């Protein structure tokens, strides 16, 4: 993985902590809006991590494929990015 490992792990651990908190909130039958707010905050962190990982992939793996001169490798990396964009658009 090309992304900043420390930053990625820190954000993922934060999201994990938030998920644990959300589960406790559900178990404690907390107010729905408070739970929803925490879910949105966690989703935001995960989206930010995903964006960082994808940017690093483009800057690293995709750039490397483009510079390699291999049409097959370029096509493969572009197809991967297209698949991710399709998933994000759902």
- Concatenating the DSSP letter of every residue in 29-42 gives T--HHHHHHHHHHH
Name the class of domain 5-89: mainly alpha
What pLDDT is stored for residue 54 in this prediction?
Answer: 93
> pLDDT tens, position by position, for the chain (90 residues)?
777 999 999 999 999 999 999 999 999 999 999 999 999 999 999 999 999 999 999 999 898 988 988 899 999 999 999 999 999 998
What pLDDT is stored for residue 44 in this prediction?
Answer: 97
User: What residue spans define the domains of the chain?
Assistant: 5-89
**Sequence-distant (≥ 6) Cβ neighbours of residue 56 within 8 angstroms:** 1, 2, 3, 4
The pTM for the full model equals: 0.84
What pLDDT is stored for residue 72 in this prediction?
Answer: 92
């Amino acid at each position: 993985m090309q992304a900043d490992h420390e930053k990625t792990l820190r954000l993922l651990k934060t999201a994990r902590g938030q998920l644990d908190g959300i589960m406790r909130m559900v178990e404690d039958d907390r107010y729905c809006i408070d739970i929803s707010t925490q879910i949105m905050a966690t989703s935001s962190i995960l989206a930010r991590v995903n964006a960082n990982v994808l940017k690093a992939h483009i800057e690293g793996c995709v750039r490397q494929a483009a510079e390699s001169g291999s049409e097959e490798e370029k096509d493969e990396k572009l197809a991967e990015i297209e698949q991710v964009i399709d998933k994000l658009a759902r």
